[in-house]
């Protein structure tokens, strides 16, 4: 292949001055450069998952940790936070899906986060997209802080999970009423949240109060949290 390219580059040097030769010469150069850069770039790896640390973090056999892009599950192992609502369920789901199995990693625009964890989209051997599945089944929120190529899809999956009251969203439904007509609040702080608020999702069960009317929180002198008041 290299011999053929070298021969054709010599033949197509733009000495004749014809537009056709110049075009062909440029095209061959692009092929060569494109093939080289494509071979050098690495976008997918097959790795072995030693353990699921929690719902959105994996520990590989290599000792490296992987943080799933665009996904935020309730905290189960945070040093400064108690175990959050539905955290153990999310962690167990990820364990069932990926622990002690080979998976494929695909990478985004940033290779690692500030904690030196690999940032990746995780695909199981059967093609299941783990990042998306966590959100679809109500084990995770769509993480909106940083843009990524599946952000719109993930937000739609979350909306559907909330509407269908699956997973962690199940506590926000009562009969036919869905998340969009319910507020939740903290008894201690007298503060209320929209069900999609990440601060509300972290409330422990013994501090949680539910409101089934949009006027109830203010009638009971609860104030909106800073995130919901935006």
Phi, psi of 159 (to 5 degrees): -60, -45
61 and 70 Cβ atoms separated by less than 8 Å: no
SS3 132: helix
Distance CA 70, CA 106 (A): 13
196 and 226 Cβ atoms separated by less than 8 Å: no
b/e burial code for range 92-129 (CB count within 10 A of at least 16 → b):
bbbbebbbeeebbbebbeeeeeeeebbbbbbbbeeeeb
The residues that are catalytic are 67, 75, 117
Look at strands 223-224 and 191-193 and give their pairing: parallel
Number of other residues whose CB lies within 10 A of the CB of residue 50: 15
Distance CA 135, CA 157 (A): 6
For the record, the structure tokens of 31 come out as 């092929």
């Amino acid at each position: 292949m290299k011999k053929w390219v070298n021969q054709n580059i010599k033949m197509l040097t733009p000495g004749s001055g014809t537009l056709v030769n110049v075009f062909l010469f440029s095209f061959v150069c692009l092929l060569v450069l494109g093939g080289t850069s494509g071979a050098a770039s690495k976008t997918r790896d097959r790795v072995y998952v030693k353990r699921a640390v929690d719902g959105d973090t994996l520990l590989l056999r290599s000792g490296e940790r992987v943080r799933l892009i665009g996904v935020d599950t309730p905290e189960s192992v945070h040093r400064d936070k108690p175990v959050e609502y539905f955290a153990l369920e999310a962690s167990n789901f990820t364990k069932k899906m990926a622990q002690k199995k080979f998976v494929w990693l695909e990478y985004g625009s940033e290779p690692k986060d500030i904690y030196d964890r690999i940032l990746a989209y995780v695909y199981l051997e059967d093609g299941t997209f783990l990042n998306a599945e966590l959100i679809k089944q109500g084990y995770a929120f769509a993480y909106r802080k940083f843009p990524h190529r599946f952000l719109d899809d993930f937000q739609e999956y979350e909306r559907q999970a909330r509407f269908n009251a699956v997973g962690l969203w199940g506590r926000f439904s009562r009969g036919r009423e869905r998340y969009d007509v319910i507020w939740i609040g903290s008894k201690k702080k007298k503060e209320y949240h929209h069900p999609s608020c990440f601060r509300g999702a972290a409330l422990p069960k013994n501090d949680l109060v539910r409101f089934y009317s949009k006027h109830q929180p203010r009638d009971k002198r609860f104030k909106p949290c800073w995130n919901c008041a935006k």
